[in-house]
Amino acid sequence: MIEPWRYQLHVEVWVLLLAVVGMGLYVSRVLQPKAVAAGDPPITKRQKAWFVGGVLLLWVASDWPLHDISERYLYSLHMVQHLLLTFVMPPMFWLAMPSWLARLLVPPSTRSDAILRRVAKPIIAGLIYNGIVVFTHWSVVVNTSIRVGAFHYLVHFVVVTSAFVMWLPVCSPWKEHRLSPMGQCIYLFMMSILPTVPGAWLSLSGAPLYEVYDTMPRLWGISVLEDQQIAGLFMKVGGGAYLWAVIIAIFFRWGIGQQSSNRRGPEPASEPEPVLVAPQVRSGGQPRLSQP
């Protein structure tokens, strides 16, 4: 029976959402007062907005109806789900994280900091994400993930984790791992090109690649081959267009910042502050401070 709009409660999704919201409240109400008291800036309204947006997007991409239709009927919507979870959600959560929280989670000069420094390098981050994307498009992985629920969630966890790594050079809360604006544009340009390989593989294939979707009931008159080709177009064109939009936003924001700096001109030289040196004792016995 074809029932694409039949509601189904996904308890595991709501547990995840409540856990994420609970962690956000704990950071805001328990950790933030201690961090701000130590001199760190408080969580801004923009960071709170990014966090709320990330939670909402996680809910939309993981719950009914998108999850149900993508798992039972259409691989193309499964691709939309993955694009939301990898291209849109991770940067929102990175932008929501204040730098003091990032330093608290990964203290400097620790083993975890050494691992972060390695995986945050642009080439490594890009290879990790794209290698996992290629792996998850292997027919055995797709067929197994649809048939075995636990494996499906494992695949999602690995893909989303690799996506968080992929976005580190662009919007990491550890600013030392961010590329320059032009570097970010070049990096995202490369990220927009690499997914065209599996996308073209899906779009140009003349036969269904995934047996599990070939056995599912067809929805809205879309054949299994058309569904697969649409998924490839979403990956190649949709994902690329989104990354190009981010590139344009970064470039224009950088350009506006450069123009503002040029209009302001060089900062006026500040008067050198006197440097206090060791007191000298006059003949009268009164010490005085001299300046170099």
**DSSP class per residue in 42-73:** PPPHHHHHHHHHHHHHHHHHHSTTHHHHHHHT
Residues 228, 209 contacting (CB under 8 angstroms): yes
> Which DSSP letter does residue 210 get?
-
Rounded Cα distance between 276 and 290, Å, is 7
- Amino acid letter for position 255: G
User: Within 10 A of 175 (CB to CB), how many other CB atoms are there?
Assistant: 8
- Residues in CB range of 17: below 8 A, 6 or more apart: 55, 58, 59
pTM: 0.85
Ranges of each domain in the chain = 11-260
Q: What is the pLDDT along the chain (292 residues), one digit of tens a residue?
A: 678 888 889 999 999 999 999 999 999 999 999 888 778 889 999 999 999 999 999 999 999 999 999 988 999 999 999 999 999 999 999 999 999 999 999 999 999 999 999 999 999 999 999 999 999 989 999 999 989 988 999 999 999 999 999 999 999 999 999 999 999 999 999 999 887 788 888 888 888 899 999 888 888 889 999 999 999 999 989 999 999 999 999 999 888 877 766 666 555 554 444 444 444 444 445 444 444 4
What sign does the CA torsion over 58, 60, 66, 67 have?
positive
Can you tell me the distance from the alpha carbon of 107 to that of 211, in angstroms, rounded to the nearest whole number? 47
Burial 219-228 (b: 16+ CB within 10 A, else e): eeebebeebb
Inter-residue contact 26 to 100 (CB < 8 Å): no
C-alpha distances in Å from residue 110, one per residue of 38, 65, 107: 21, 43, 6
**287, β-bridge pairs:** 281
Which helix (DSSP H) or strand (DSSP E) does residue 156 occupy?
helix 149-166
